[in-house]
Structure 1
Amino acid sequence: MKGLNQLGAVETIFEEECEFSSTPSSPSPSFSSSRACLHSRVKAWSMRIGRETDILIRVQSICFHLHKDRVASQSSYLKRHLTETSDLTLSPPLNITAETFAAVAEFCYSGRVQMTPGNVAVVRTAAELLGMTAEGGLSHVAEALFRDVVGANGECATTVLRSCLPLLPEAETTASLVSRCIETLVYVHGVTRLKDVMEMQPRDFITVAESMGRRLENHDVLYKIVDTYLKEKKIEKVKEEERSGICNSIECSKLSRETLIECVRNPRMALRLVVQAVVVEHLNTRHSMALASAKRQKQRQRQRQGRRSMTLGDFLQRDAVLSETTKLRTAMDGTNGRIGRLEEEVRCMKRVLREFDEDERNALRSASFHFVDVEKGGGVKKGERWSTSWSRIEFDGGMGRSSFSVDAPKMSETFRQRLVSGFKNAFRLPNSAFNKTCSE
Structure 2
Amino acid sequence: MKAWNQFETIYEEEREFSSTSSPSLSPSSSSSPPSLHSLVNAWSLHSGSQPDIFICVQGTSFRLHKDRITSRSTYLKRHLTGVSNLTLSPPLNITAETFSAVAEFCYSHRIHLTASNVATIRVAAELLGMTEGENLRDVTESYFESVVGIEASMVLRSCLTLLPEAETTASLASRCIEALVWEDDVSCLDDVVRMQPQDFQTVVDSLNQRLPNHDVLYKMVDHYLKENEYGKVTEEQKTEICNSIDCSKVSSHTLVKCVQNPRMPLRLIVRAILMEHLNTRRSVVAAATGAQQAERTSLREILQRETAHRQAEQMKEAMDATYSRIQSLEKELKGMRKLLLDHNSNALNSERSVSFHFVPPETSKIQRGGRGSVSSSGFLLHNIIPKKNNQVAMCNHATKTPKITKPFRHSFITALKNAFSTSNLIKGN
Give the counterpart of 1:94 among 92, 114, 118.
Answer: 92
Deviation, structure 1 residue 261: 2.6
Q: How does 1:126-205 map to 2 (within 5 A)?
A: 126-152=124-150, 156-188=151-183, 190-192=185-187, 194-205=189-200
Q: Could you tell me the percent identity over the aligned residues?
A: 57
Name the residue aligned to 1:48: 46
For 2:82 and 2:274, the matched residues in 1 are separated by 58
For 2:256 and 2:44, the matched residues in 1 are separated by 68
1:289 maps to amino acid = V
Query: Relative to structure 1, is the Cα distance of residues 201 and 310 closer, same or farther in structure 2, using a 3 angstrom cutoff?
Result: same
Name the residue aligned to 2:104: 106
Deviation, structure 1 residue 37: 1.0
Deviation, structure 1 residue 228: 1.8
Q: When the two structures are superposed, what TM-score results if normalisation uses the length of structure 2?
A: 0.59
Deviation, structure 1 residue 17: 11
For 1:104 and 1:209, the matched residues in 2 are separated by 30
8 Å contact 1:235–1:268 — kept in the other structure? no
Query: Relative to structure 1, is the Cα distance of residues 192 and 121 closer, same or farther in structure 2, using a 3 angstrom cutoff?
Result: closer
Higher Cα Rg, which structure: 2
Name the residue aligned to 1:251: 246
Deviation, structure 1 residue 299: 5.2
1:263 maps to amino acid = C
Name the residue aligned to 2:290: 295
Deviation, structure 1 residue 298: 4.1
Name the residue aligned to 1:227: 222
Deviation, structure 1 residue 244: 0.9
Query: Relative to structure 1, is the Cα distance of residues 297 and 78 closer, same or farther in structure 2, using a 3 angstrom cutoff?
Result: same
After alignment, is 292-301 or 227-236 more displaced? Answer: 292-301
For 2:201 and 2:210, the matched residues in 1 are separated by 14
Number of corresponding residues: 283
Q: How does 1:38-437 map to 2 (within 5 A)?
A: 38-152=36-150, 156-188=151-183, 190-192=185-187, 194-234=189-229, 238-298=233-293
For 2:128 and 2:91, the matched residues in 1 are separated by 12
Deviations 1:197-243 (A, max 9, x none): 22323222222211211221221111111112222333686321121
For 2:236 and 2:277, the matched residues in 1 are separated by 27
Unaligned runs of 5+ in 2: 1-21, 306-429
Name the residue aligned to 2:421: none
8 Å contact 1:14–1:39 — kept in the other structure? no
8 Å contact 2:25–2:51 — kept in the other structure? no
1:55 maps to amino acid = I
Name the residue aligned to 2:313: none
For 2:204 and 2:230, the matched residues in 1 are separated by 17
8 Å contact 1:82–1:88 — kept in the other structure? yes
For 1:301 and 1:196, the matched residues in 2 are separated by 54
Deviation, structure 1 residue 280: 2.3
For 2:113 and 2:94, the matched residues in 1 are separated by 16
8 Å contact 1:54–1:86 — kept in the other structure? yes
Deviation, structure 1 residue 159: 2.3
For 1:52 and 1:101, the matched residues in 2 are separated by 20
For 1:150 and 1:299, the matched residues in 2 are separated by 46
After alignment, is 135-144 or 187-196 more displaced? Answer: 187-196
Deviations 1:32-87 (A, max 9, x none): 4x622111101111111111222222212222222222122211111221223222
Q: When the two structures are superposed, what TM-score results if normalisation uses the length of structure 1?
A: 0.58
